[in-house]
Structure 1
Amino acid sequence: MSDRPDPSETPGVVDFAAMQWTRATGAGLDPHEYRRVTDGLASVAGWGPAFLRTGQEHLRRAGDAGSSASAGAHLLAAARWFHAATLAPYAEAARAAAAADDALGRALAVLEPGARRLSGEGFTGWLRLPRSPVSDAGAVGTVIVVPGLDSAKEEFLDLASALLARGLAVFAMDGPGQGALAATSTLVPEYEEVVARVVDALGVPRVGLVGLSLGGYFAARAAALEPRVAAVATVSGPFRLDWDELPQPIRDMVARRTGGTDGAREFARHVDLTGLASRVTAPLLVVDGGRDVIPGVTNGEPLARSAPRGTHLSVPHGDHLLGNARSDWLPRLADHLAHALRGTTGGRARTAPAAHRE
């Protein structure tokens, strides 16, 4: 059982901040700053404005910074805070998402001038190249990072860093209904079509995919239906959703991202990998947290069991997105994708030894 507050209940601000703690700090928010900001909140309604103000303060510090390194660090912090502002219902969520997108672009312009913005039908994001490619010909492969229901490309910067460190190029994206595109589009289950357009835009013969939370479903579906996916990993990805069992706050969130309750119910009906799992033939790593227990959500173990080259890594103390257990899965996931894209991974489906409890 999960030891976090029951997601079927509408939480007060103290419980809400506690629920978001490992996600926020796992995404790179300074834990002490997070405590200072959330301790000052009187209600969940104040979450968005407070986080937006904190991001704006980092923008001010970036403008006053005495070096490009300091400016870039503050701009990355601003991007994280602006994105985190969208995690609670907030009338100006679109403004916060746009601010996160802008801050990330400004940070990369300072820190990684070689980063390139790519946009097309249903996607936008940044292509980042490793500073020290393993191969003389450049990156050893390209990985697309796929966000989930209420996440965005600004949330998984540490994952991108781990992949870049292994000589991989990284395209961190927002798709329909996500991040910078949330205000102008809605979620679509046919994410393989989005991935196909991304691969076309990247101009590479094959890619790796890593999907987080609902992005895990998107990545697995794309891996089953898009032949250019050569490696895949999921983190806290659902195998199936049961709309009638989902907690009301999650239903509300899906409704906001799909244009209403009817669209949300129809979208949830499509989130089912039962008929697709066996078609995921690329090397697959499925990461689940033992404390990630949400009514109506079947976690990823059936996907790993059904995929011909699937491996299941269960971290007993891990929560949703495993922000409380980064060292238990992040290095292994990055290695999995690097090895698979180099062609050094193979073997049949298996279950990884569970990580030790803390």
Structure 2
Amino acid sequence: MNVADLAAENLTRATAAGLDPHEYRHVTAELASVADWGQAFMRAARRHLVRAEQAASPISAGEHYQVAARWFHIATLGPYTDRTTADTGADTEGAVKSAAEAAAEADAAMRRALEILEPGARRLDGPSFTGWLRGPADASATVVVVPGLDSGKEEFHAVTSALLRRGLAVFTMDGPGQGTLAATTTVRPDYHQVIGQVVDALGVERVGLVGLSLGGYYVAESAAHEPRVAAATTVSGPFQLDWPALPPPLRNILAWRAGGTRAARDFVDQVDLSALAPRIACPLLVVDGGQDDISGVTDGEPLARLAPRGEYLLVPYGDHLLGNAHADWLPAVADWMSGTLASA
């Protein structure tokens, strides 16, 4: 994949994560190769850190720190693209170190942003997770936002903001192999064990879950096992994965996040909701984009059909994560989650 294709492929994801599209085009236009992605995006992030330090008001400083966190997060996406190192066994130390540095910088920038903009936000950590609890202390319900394979707690700000505006408390998290934990942990298919730890730490009786991309599988798997899940939404989540059919870049990402190709194949073999979908007792809303067509990935329609209380929302022109179609699903998902939890 060349630089232009990489930039185009990540445009809607980056802008949905909160990057200015004009700044994004300026940064990506100066890339000489895909290998420059991470460092270029970190330089852009650090420019926002400088703006934060020079800001005339605390609010402006907090906003710049928040934007910097998003640039640092998108910097973590580059090293995996168009590389075969995970399959060949070649040295990946430099790329892994760069991604880990960017994830740590994203975490630090978001911490500084929340200290200024939302001083009531609380950091919660557990054996297999870390994240931020935001929103009113007396919120009627709590929603956990679960990221995907190469995403993290700094990415889905639009989802988080939509839920916060409806008076919900929101826990945005990194789990095994995600965000700041990617450098020290690997992905696991039994994600309900992680969600169980999260609910214990939150100290609430029931939660709603929103999972994006592979996080959609994590959410559905958790809803099938964890009785404290009162409502669940998946966005671009896989129903099944087929290793031989997956495109090489995606196999590489899986190998990096799983700790090797063999572990990645074992993980993929377990991503299958056929038997679990009928066991999901809570209300379930499955959201797919009609233009989200990744080889080896079965989208969520069978999940909605097999779950006893499943609903299906298809946005015909939506891409993966539907960053190009927020108006067609995000307000509806936030209203559905708020209303479902209120009646649970």
Q: Aligned residue for 1:76? A: 66
Amino acid at match of 1:302: P
1:45-73 alpha-carbon deviations (Å, 9 max, x no partner) = 11100000010110110000011110111
Amino acid at match of 1:19: E
Alignment of 1:1-358 (within 5 A): 11-89=1-79, 90-91=95-96, 92-130=98-136, 138-343=138-343
Amino acid at match of 1:100: A
1:263-309 alpha-carbon deviations (Å, 9 max, x no partner) = 00000001000000011111111000000001100000000001111
Q: Bigger CA drift: 83-92 or 184-193?
A: 83-92
Using the alignment, how far apart are the partners of 1:241 and 1:187 within structure 2?
A: 15
TM-score (norm 1): 0.91
Using the alignment, how far apart are the partners of 1:221 and 1:49 within structure 2?
A: 36
Q: SS where residue 288 of structure 1 aligns?
A: strand
Using the alignment, how far apart are the partners of 1:187 and 1:88 within structure 2?
A: 19
Amino acid at match of 1:128: R
Amino acid at match of 2:296: G
Q: Aligned residue for 2:85? A: none
CA RMSD of aligned residues (A): 0.8
Amino acid at match of 1:284: L
Using the alignment, how far apart are the partners of 1:86 and 1:76 within structure 2?
A: 16
1:208-230 alpha-carbon deviations (Å, 9 max, x no partner) = 00000000000000001000000
Q: CA deviation at 1:129?
A: 1.1
Q: CA deviation at 1:158?
A: 1.1
1:226-282 alpha-carbon deviations (Å, 9 max, x no partner) = 000000000000000001110111000000000000000000001000000011111
Using the alignment, how far apart are the partners of 2:70 and 2:302 within structure 1?
A: 33
Using the alignment, how far apart are the partners of 1:69 and 1:231 within structure 2?
A: 34
Q: SS where residue 153 of structure 1 aligns?
A: coil
For structure 1, which runs of at least 5 residues remain unmatched after alignment? 1-10, 345-358
Q: SS where residue 303 of structure 2 aligns?
A: helix
Amino acid at match of 2:67: A
**Paired residue total:** 328
TM-score (norm 2): 0.94
Q: SS where residue 155 of structure 1 aligns?
A: coil
Task: Name segments (4+ residues, structure 1) moved above 3 Å.
Answer: none
Amino acid at match of 1:252: N
Q: CA deviation at 1:84?
A: 0.3
Identity of aligned residues (%): 64
Using the alignment, how far apart are the partners of 2:49 and 2:270 within structure 1?
A: 40
Using the alignment, how far apart are the partners of 1:329 and 1:281 within structure 2?
A: 23
Amino acid at match of 1:215: G
For structure 2, which runs of at least 5 residues remain unmatched after alignment? 80-94
Q: SS where residue 37 of structure 1 aligns?
A: helix
Q: CA deviation at 1:321?
A: 0.3
Using the alignment, how far apart are the partners of 2:190 and 2:33 within structure 1?
A: 37
Q: SS where residue 329 of structure 2 aligns?
A: helix
Q: SS where residue 151 of structure 1 aligns?
A: coil
Higher percent of residues as helix: 2
1:64-91 alpha-carbon deviations (Å, 9 max, x no partner) = 0011110111001000000000111144
